[in-house]
Amino acid sequence: MKVTILAIGKCKKSSPEAAIIDEYAKRSSWQISIKEKDNSTQEDEALFLQQNIPHGAKVIVLDERGVNIKSTELAATVAKWQLDGISEICFLIGGADGHLQSTRDKADLILSFGKLTLPHMLMRAVLAEQIYRIQTIIAGHPYHRE
């Protein structure tokens, strides 16, 4: 599985969040790539996100208005997509003002990680761990415990 993370804001290479992201990317057998854009207008951010979605990828928009589901439910969704022949997922992380409706309209899933507000760089680290967790759940690896 290929995973693309499109994100607004740039993560400093020497930051603690970058170290966490790198650690989970190394653990993963999935190919994970991150494309970033500096913060700008919401319209420019939306254009960047929408234009960089890989062709044929399932799109998961991270948005506070999305569904808040368990990791096992997300893994089941991804596993179904894999069975349907999908080989790429694209996660979209918006800027400080969130996503425009035109970006949410591109989503196959609008996902919330809860009601808490998290810094964007920390959200990337949490997402990297969840991508690894999804992979281990699908593979039946004991990393995830309920």
Is the pLDDT at 146 greater than 80, yes or no?
no
Predicted confidence at residue 134, as pLDDT, reads 97
Half-sphere exposure of 74 (CA within 13 A, CB side): 27
Higher pLDDT, 144 or 4: 4
Express each pLDDT in 104-127 by its tens digit: 999 999 999 988 888 889 999 999
pLDDT tens, residue by residue, 66-109? 999 999 999 999 999 999 999 999 999 999 899 999 999 999 99
pLDDT of residue 124: 94
Q: What kind of fold does domain 2-139 have according to CATH? A: Alpha/beta knot (3.40.1280)
Residue 145 has pLDDT above 80, yes or no: no
Cα dihedral value 100, 115, 77, 95, nearest 10: 30
Spell out the domain ranges in the chain: 2-139
User: Are 132 and 27 spatial neighbours (Cβ–Cβ below 8 Å)?
Assistant: yes
Give residue 10's identity as a one-letter amino acid code.
K
Q: What is the value of pTM for the model shown?
A: 0.95
pLDDT tens column, 18-73? 999 999 999 999 999 999 999 999 999 999 999 999 999 999 999 999 999 999 99
The whole-number pLDDT of residue 41 equals 93
pLDDT at residue number 2: 98
CA atoms within 13 A on the CB side of 94: 27
